Every structure is written in C-alpha cells, then in structure tokens.
Structure 1
C-alpha cells in the first residue's frame, strides 16, 4: 500500500500541531501535574480519528487507515506485553525482599560514599540490560536515598551516575531500553549484534563516572547495626530470580529461533511465574506471594504512555511527516552517521522512545553498523538532560528537590564527553576494524 502525502493539507498540519502541543504537556508533566500518559493517549487516539474523518470526508479508501491502525496496534502489543511481563517480575522480586536485601548489604559493608557511588553505578550498568533502565534507575535511586537523605555532594553525582549507567547499560541489550527493544523486534539486528555495543557503552560510561567521582566525598555514611534489622528474602525468591533468567532465554529463542515476537517467550515466562505463585500459595498462603498483586503494582501509566506515543508517531508516519524528516539521512544532506549522532541530542530534548519510533517508521536505508549507532546514541543521548530519558524522569521523582534539571546540567559536560567517547569507540570498532 502506497501512502498519500498529506503533509501540506489541513489534516497534516492538524496532526503535527496536536503532536507538538501534546508533547509540550508531556515534557512539563510536573509543572501541570498531569500524568504524561494522558496527553500521549490523547495525541495518539485523536490523530487517527481525525485521519479517518479526513479520509471519509474526501471519499478516500478508509480501509487504508484501518490497516495502518492494525499495524500500529500489533507493534504496540509486542512492546507493551513484553514490558508487562518484565515489570511483573520486578515487582515480584521487590515483594519477595530481593532488593531490600541488596540495599542492606550495600550500606552495611562500611563503604565510603565514593565506593558506594561506584558500586551503585556498576549495579545499574549490569542490571539494566536485564531489567530495563527505568526499573533499574528507580531501584538504585531508592538505595541512594536510603544511604543518605541530605548530602547533595553525594546524592546529585550519585543520581546522575545511576541515570547514565542505566542508559548506557541498556544500550547494549535488546531488553535494556525501549529503543533497543523496538529495534530488535523490528528485525534491524540479531540479539548478538547488540552485544557488540558493550565496549562503546561501558567505556563511555566509565569516562563520565570517573569525572563525576572526583566530586564525591571519600567519607563513610553513618550506619548503626543495632537499629537496622537485616532483611531476609522470602521463601521462593531465588526461584523467581531463576525463572526471570529462563524467561529472558525464552524471549530470545522465541524471536531469534522460532521467528515469533519476543513477547511470546515473555508470556511463557509469565506462565511459569504463575505456576510458581500457585505453588507458593498452596504452601505458605496467599499473603506470601500472589502474582496478581505484583501485576496490580505495575506502573500502568508507563504502558499507556508508550501506547499513546507510538500511536502518535504512527499517525505522523501515515500522514507523511516522517518520510519528509528522513531526508537528513540521505548522503546529499547529513548522511546516516552524522544524522545518527544528532539523534542523541534530539533524544535528550524529546525523549528517545518517540525518536526511535520515528526512525523505525521512516526506515532510512542504513547498514547494520549505523542501526547499531542509532541504538547507541538514542539510548545514551537521553542522559544529556535530566528529563531526556525515562530513567532520568524516574530518578527526579525519587529525589525531588535534590536531583533537578539544574543540578544535572551542572555536570552535563561529563556526560557529553562520555557520549563522544562512546561514538569514537563505535567508529573504531565498526568502521575502522569492521568487527560487527
């Protein structure tokens, strides 16, 4: 089906205007105290309704709108169901005391603030490829505020460190960020291709972390073992960790071997978790663990936000705006490499999810190395500004009044240096050495 170019019509300008206004309210979520899922859903749903009305009024084939809406729903379902299962596992681990135990072990070791800075950063970097960057950032920012509630010289660089580490760690895994998940499910790269981004991700992160660590005090936080009771993981917690690993393996096999959507393997993992929940309920009672309680704690506003924003980007694609914007990828203009480097800065301003969705919809002609570059830049570029990624927004909520736009901007130069180092490593690896 060849789409009509409606960019210069009233419907084209209307959809673009609605998107801009809606995104203004998304970016100013805290100012207007309106959940970001509300404007996202509004622009996504209303845009398609207006397009359908335009087709109906002008006697066009409205089945084209129907087919595009179904394609968008399929794309959204693959991502939302994937996230739904991942979030259920995370909430289950929280309920079973896994992260409380981790938190206690960190603060009871007698580490200095600087050592805790490095430990939380490395945990964020290596947990986010499995859990996802938002969940990882929320968990570890909770650890930060538990360790110290007022000392900004530790909390601010520590929060930035977690955001950067979570985004960098998520960039080299199909599960680590929504952008990598979208690129993987769209078939732009195989599972192992993302692993080649590990050197770029970790070296860029280490540059930023080293510079930030210089301002972190080398003293120890106060800890009284007599007042802090050591938490214990509930019976069956270890099995849930194991089932989570099995679920990830199933998702990989489902997508790479069986050519199913990755969410199919994740849903199978949910079945396994439900069976484990049934077993624990029979043995210890409903209060011990109930998988439906974990589901109830999922941040549904996040899932609805992704539904709305992906639908909105689908509408922009259907109108023709994304094809117009993809001109920058042509060699006569910026070309793929420079355009993808610019994507990182755009991700910081707009958020990497709609940016990556727009690129995938426009589908510029790029080789594997440049698809890996845009995955890298969209992921780590969001760290440049505090609200440029879901991880940053989440940590701002956890550390209100401490980790702010201004406090982040003060150290943004350290992130920018790490960003360019990551790109340099990518260039050496993929272009100079051709290792992909």
Structure 2
C-alpha cells in the first residue's frame, strides 16, 4: 500500500501546486503535466515490479505477480491507450471549438453583439448582459462568453467599481448557461463525450434548474445599490460600423451555427462529438478562406484574418493542463486499491463506494461535489466522478453532477474558468467576491438544485 500511497502523494502535491498557481507564479499546466506523467511512470514501474495490479474500464484486472506475461503486459499498454484516446477526444473537441471562436473574433463578429447592449438603466443592463451570458455560454462555452461580454462591458461602463459587479454577475449567468448544454462547459463536454449523458437529455433535464440558478440571483441583485439608477456609460465610439468589417456578420453566424451543429452531426452519424467539431472547424476555415473581410484587401494583409493566426491565439497551456489532469485521474482509475463485495476495484471506485456508505443520500454527495468544485477545479472533479460511478447513460446522477460541477464553481471567483478569466480581466478581488457575490451564487445554486431534485422525483421516475 505504501507505493500506492506515493501515487496519492504525487496527486495531492500536484493539485496543491495547481491551486497555488498565482502565489507560485507558475502556469498550472506545469504541475498538471508533471503530475500526470510522473504518476503513469510510477504506475508502469510498479506494475513491472508487481507492486501494483491495474484494472481497465471493463473491470478486467492485470497483474505480473506470477512473473512476466506478455498478455498481462499488453493489458497495461491497452489500458493506457484507452485512457489517452478518451483524453484525446476531449482535447481535440476543445481545440476545434476554441479555433472557431478565435476565427469569429478575428473577423470582429462579436462586435455585432455589442449593438444589442444599449440601455441606460443599470438594472436593464444587468439583465441584458445576464441573458446574453446565459445564451452565449450554451452555444460557445462559458469561458468564451465571459471573455466576450467583459470585453464589451469595458467599452460600455466607465467606472471600475460598477464594472466588477456586472463582471461577477456575468460569471454566475455564464456558468448556469454552460451547465445545460453539452458544449457549454468543459465538464458537460467531458460527460457527453465520455458517454455518460446524451445532448438531448442533458438539456431536457437541466435547462429549468440552470435557468433558476441564473434568474434567482439576478432578481435579488436588481434590488442591490450597484444595480439601481442610471449607468454612467462611456461614449460609444461614434462610427460603430467602422469597427465591423464586411465578413463580421457572415463569420459570426457561420461560426455559431457550426458549433451548434455538432450535436446534430453526432445524432445523424452516431460518430463521437470531436469528429463533428473537426468537421465544423473545416467548414468555418473553408468559409474564412474565401470570404472578403475588406473590399480591396492587399495580399500582404491577408494573414491578419487567416485561420493560422486564429490557431496561434489559442491558449494551448489550457489544453496541456487538461491533458495532465486527465492523465493523473486515469492513473487513480486504473490502480487496484481494494475489494468491494469481493471484487477488486480501482482507487476512484473504492473512494466512491466509501463516500456512498458514509453519506447514503446521493443528492447530498453530488451537492458537496459541486460546492467542492469551487475550491478544487471542476475538471478533475468530474473526471474523478466518471471513474467513480458506474450508472447507466442519462442516469439522473450524471445530470446532477453536470449541474453541480458547472454552477458550483460560481461560489468562488477562482472556482471556474469563467471566474478566473473575469478575475484577470477586471482585477476582481477574491475576498470582495466572497463577501459580496458568494451568497448570491449560493442562493442560485441551491434553488436550481432544489428544482432539479423536484423534477427528477416527479417527472423522471
């Protein structure tokens, strides 16, 4: 057990380094990659020396305790190949989605959305930004929606002291909007690609709880002082059309349509979502090559709008962070930890069974996972739960995990990718968010959860 404990120690140290990214001034991709690769290295050495047995996703156990056996050794490699192929599906899906969004941005497609945001009342401005965040995050993802809306907010509101309130509320709306869509959040994408939920059922189960999670905090916030009265707006740039280019509208609708087409592609072909996203990227790339951004664009300036530039703007450190995290979780899923009812199980399954025995109510377990995802990144939380539980596709537990992990991140400013992005862009203080916003996010989170449990009990039993 001592060598198995070493795997856990590497995981905990790696995890701490990820959460302490800012004090350490170290990109979280670094500890994630080191953690993931070191854990697989230790697992491989331990397996070859018969310190560990491993278990694959079908529950087959492989061991070299009786001496070297080619079939058993290949079982280890096959298990690694399985985990890497599952991780690859998520990463290529994300790369495709991020590239399409960057192509839209290069063609200034999002400037069209800015035209919608014109009210002078602070309360109306709050609702317009919230509704846009909720809808956009379901189509393009919560992180991207947050970045776009805060960029627009900075062009509209003059005073930083008011902007931080709007930015914080955008986080709540974007996380709620991302939770009910298979492409709205990394965690829902993981559950969808991992075959735990279907796109249609996820949306059907979660759209009402997510809407409640967004609407309740916004109704309360409307009565708070920062959202009353008239907005002190920046003068909008006189010639708004000058900011747009000929291809803005075409690329906005092509890009959003292509991303929204991915679940339809999966429904028609039965192929995994990452292939649909690659097809959509191909279509958007093709259109971007032939669309005219400006009337007489010189050949030397064509690179400004090229997809190669969009690819260079993708944050690949985030992709590598997910790779490291998911590799580490794959080890915890693979290493045999103990027996449950006489059957050998991996570390995550063992942990799940232990938690379920301590807290018999699964709804409370999932709510706690959601609250924890505000402290611990929700990507590994969901990745771990996917290895911990063996419920069938579209079981209510998977939908509740999607809701809790997606919206629970709003409880702290560092609890979600959207929150971290807003924190960086608007210099939102951690303690300020904790005092002023956390209670609003918590009310919404619990209200949505209560609605989910009611719907599950009365409509889906």
Same-fold call, TM cutoff 0.5: yes
Q: Does 1:292 align with 2:308?
A: yes
Deviation at 1:329, TM superposition (A): 5.9
1:135 aligns with 2:161: no
Give yes or no for contact 1:169–1:201 (8 Å, CA) kept in 2.
yes
Q: Which residue of 2 aligns with 1:314?
A: 330
How far apart, in 2, do the equivalents of 1:281 and 1:150 lie? 37
Structure 1, 270-279 or 349-358: larger mean CA deviation: 270-279
Aligned to 2:6: 14
Task: Give the deviation of 1:110 after TM superposition.
Answer: 4.7
> Is the counterpart of residue 219 in structure 1 residue 230 in structure 2?
yes
Map Cα deviations across residues 160-198 of structure 1 (whole Å, 9 max, x no partner): 211111110001100001111111112222211112211
Matched with 1:399 is: 426
Unpaired segments ≥5 residues, structure 1: 1-7
The 1-side partners of 2:140 and 2:278 are apart by 16
Evaluate the alpha carbon distance shift between residue 121 and residue 82 of structure 1 in structure 2; reply closer, same or farther with a 3 A threshold: same
Given the alignment of the two structures, is residue 40 of structure 1 paired with residue 32 of structure 2, yes or no? yes
1:182 pairs, out of 183, 187, 190, with: 190
- Deviation at 1:102? 2.9
* Aligned mate of 1:325, from 351, 354, 357: 351
Deviation at 1:33, TM superposition (A): 1.2
Aligned equivalent of 1:385? 412
- Is contact 1:25–1:39 with CA below 8 Å preserved after alignment? yes
TM-score, normalised with respect to structure 2? 0.86
Tell me, yes or no, if structure 1 residue 433 matches structure 2 residue 459.
yes
Q: How far apart are residue 149 of structure 1 and its match?
A: 5.2
1:70 and 2:63 are equivalent in the alignment: no
- Between the aligned partners of 1:325 and 1:254, the Cα distance in structure 2 is 36
Distance 2:10 2:237 in 1: 57
Q: Name the CA distance, whole Å, in 2 between partners of 1:264 and 1:189.
A: 18
Q: Which moved more, 1:115-124 or 1:333-342?
A: 333-342
1:371-400 deviation digits (Å, cap 9, x = unpaired): 111111111011111111111111111112
Residue in structure 2 matching 1:97, options 108, 112, 118:
108
Query: 1:144 is matched with which residue: 153, 163, 180?
Result: 153
Supply the distance in 1 between the matched residues of 2:252 and 2:449 (Cα, whole angstroms).
Answer: 34
Instruction: Report the alpha carbon displacement of residue 288 of structure 1 after superposing the two structures with TM.
Output: 5.6
Query: Which of 241, 244, 266 in structure 1 is aligned with 2:277?
Result: 266
Change in Cα spacing, 1:228 to 1:213, as seen in structure 2 (3 Å) is farther
Name which of 360, 366, 369 aligns with 1:340: 366
Q: 1:88 aligns with which of 90, 93, 99?
A: 99
Matched, 1:235 2:251: no
Change (3 A) 1:426 1:390: same
Gaps of 5+ in 2: 51-63, 66-71, 336-345
Q: Measure, in 1, the Cα distance between the counterparts of 2:420 and 2:195.
A: 29
Partner of 1:356: 382
Displacement of 1:241: 2.8
Task: Give the secondary-structure state (helix, strand or coil) at the position aligned to 2:264.
Answer: helix
TM-score (structure 1 length as normaliser) = 0.90
Shift of 1:228: 6.6
CA distance in 1: counterparts of 2:187 and 2:456, whole angstroms? 20
Q: Is the 8 A contact 1:97 1:231 kept in 2?
A: no
Structure 2 residue aligned with 1:191: 199
Contact 1:167/1:382 (8 A) holds in 2? yes
- What does residue 112 of structure 1 align with? 121
Q: Is the 8 A contact 1:85 1:270 kept in 2?
A: yes
Indicate how the Cα distance of structure 1 residues 336 and 329 shifts in structure 2: closer, same or farther if over 3 A, else same: farther
CA contact (8 A) 1:327 1:333 kept: no
Q: Decide whether the 8 Å contact of 2:156 with 2:235 is kept in 1.
A: no
Q: Which residue of 2 aligns with 1:252?
A: 263
Measure how far apart 1:22 and its partner are: 1.1
The 5-angstrom pairing of residues 48-63 of structure 1 reads: 48-58=40-50, 59=64, 61-63=72-74
- Give, in whole Å, the separation in 2 of the partners of 1:166 and 1:21: 31
Distance 1:226 1:321 in 2: 57
Greater CA deviation, 303-312 or 134-143? 134-143
SS of equivalent to 1:265: helix
Task: Find the aligned partners of 1:224 and 1:373 in 2 and give their Cα distance.
Answer: 44
Kindly state the Cα deviation for residue 421 of structure 1 after the two structures are TM-superposed: 0.6
Distance (Å, rounded) in 2 between the aligned partners of 1:226 and 1:359:
48
SS at match of 2:269: coil
1:97 deviates by 1.2
Matched, 1:368 2:395: yes
The aligned counterpart of 1:165 is: 173
